């Protein structure tokens, strides 16, 4: 389990106008909620939060939120981002209660050398995360998937994965995590329909035949041509 500390300030004013002013002042509007508390609007420092996200995976990190002198263990449930700018618009925190399990998505990590890959196969990863229900203090940073026995044409499903004790997998056990596909064969280039066909030049290897059918040698290049005698000329 990863943990991080973050400072926050409660706020009474809400609305789009207030949110815009907060962002202009270098702060991000947010809210903390939980079944044991009334939702509370707050704000956090934009720069501090950006640096924190570079160091931890927020989906599997428990944030100790310091709010006006009090502390609460929380999970980030949603980060709203600008459609095309690198700007966080809003953050939702869920307060954790000791002994109460939560549902989170945890990244999958492949371990081992697949026998299918050794034979030239390619692993196609279909699932990248696993949804689990777990005590917040036992959230793993990732879940290992052993691909050592994965051969060409075979698959690994959710039910094949061994998870630590105390974790309840929420995904369908028949869901496919990855497969090992055979290498693609290279096909010869096929002629493009409508493209002109270039014929190879014909090589003449035989000479012409005389009037009686006997074959005569073809004249060499550059040799003078025989001129037929004019009518009436002496031989």
| 14/79 same-domain check | yes
Across the chain, mean pLDDT equals 84
Could you tell me if residue 15 is inside a domain?
Answer: yes
Looking at residue 128, its pLDDT comes to: 96
Closest CA to 60 of 49, 44, 76, 71: 76
pLDDT on residue 198 = 57
Chain segment 118-145, per-residue pLDDT in tens: 999 999 999 999 999 999 889 999 999 9
Same domain, 79 and 16: yes
Upper half-sphere CA count for residue 8 (Cβ side, 13 Å): 27
What pLDDT, on a 0 to 100 scale, did the predictor assign at position 200?
55
- pLDDT of 188 > 80? The answer is no
Q: Are residues 68 and 139 in the same domain?
A: no
- Greatest mean pLDDT among 74-78, 180-184, 199-203, 211-215: 74-78
d(CA 51, CA 196): 61
3-state helix, strand, coil in the chain (%, to 5): 15, 40, 50
CA angle at 140 for the pair 136 and 143, rounded to the nearest 5°: 140
| Same-domain status, 117 and 158 | yes
Instruction: Tell whether 82 and 21 lie within a shared domain.
Output: yes
pLDDT over 90, % of the chain? 64
Q: Residue 143: which CATH number?
A: 2.170.120.20
* C-alpha to C-alpha distance for 16 and 101, rounded to whole angstroms: 34
pLDDT of residue 31: 96
Chain segment 3-56, per-residue pLDDT in tens = 999 999 999 888 889 999 999 999 999 999 987 788 999 999 999 999 999 999
Question: Is the per-residue pLDDT at 179 higher than 70?
Answer: yes
State the pLDDT at residue 215: 52
d(C-alpha 173, C-alpha 65), whole Å? 35
Q: From residue 33, give the alpha-carbon distance in Å to each of 49, 94, 227.
A: 19, 5, 112
Q: Which of 55, 60, 71 is nearest to 1 (CA)?
A: 60
The domain tally of the chain equals 2
What 8-state DSSP symbol labels residue 193?
A: T
**Pair 175, 134 in one domain:** yes
Q: How confident is the model at residue 235 (pLDDT cuts 50, 70, 90)?
A: very low
What pLDDT, on the 0 to 100 scale, is given for residue 146?
Answer: 96
Inside any domain, residue 130: yes
Residues 227-234 have a mean pLDDT of: 51
What whole-number distance in Å separates Cα of residue 155 and Cα of residue 124?
A: 9
Domain end: 97, 117, 143, which one?
Answer: 97
Q: Which domain holds residue 166?
A: 103-181
The whole-angstrom separation of Cα 123 and Cα 178 is: 7
Confirm if 124 and 181 have CB atoms less than 8 A apart: yes
| CB 120, CB 160: distance < 8 Å | no
First-last CA distance in the chain? 116
């Amino acid at each position: 389990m990863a943990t991080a500390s973050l400072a926050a300030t409660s706020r009474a004013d809400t609305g789009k106008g207030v949110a815009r002013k907060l962002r202009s002042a270098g702060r991000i509007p947010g809210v903390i909620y939980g079944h044991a508390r009334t939702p509370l609007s707050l704000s956090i420092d934009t720069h501090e939060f950006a640096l924190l996200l570079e160091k931890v995976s927020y989906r599997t990190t428990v944030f100790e939120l310091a709010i006006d002198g009090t502390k609460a263990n929380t999970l980030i449930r949603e980060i709203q981002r600008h459609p095309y700018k690198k700007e966080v618009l809003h953050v939702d925190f869920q307060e954790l209660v000791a002994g109460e399990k939560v549902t989170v998505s945890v990244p999958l990590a492949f371990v081992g050398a697949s026998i299918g890959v050794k034979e030239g196969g390619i692993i196609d990863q279909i699932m990248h995360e696993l949804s689990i229900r777990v005590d917040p203090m036992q959230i793993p940073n990732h879940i290992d998937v052993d691909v050592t026995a994965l051969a060409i044409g075979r698959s690994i499903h959710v039910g094949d994965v061994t998870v630590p004790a105390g974790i309840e997998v929420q995904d369908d056990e028949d869901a496919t995590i990855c497969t090992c596909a055979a290498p693609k064969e290279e096909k010869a280039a096929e002629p493009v329909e409508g493209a002109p066909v270039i014929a190879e030049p014909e090589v003449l290897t035989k000479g012409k035949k005389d009037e009686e059918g006997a074959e005569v040698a073809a004249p060499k290049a550059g040799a003078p041509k025989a001129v037929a005698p004019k009518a009436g000329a002496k031989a």
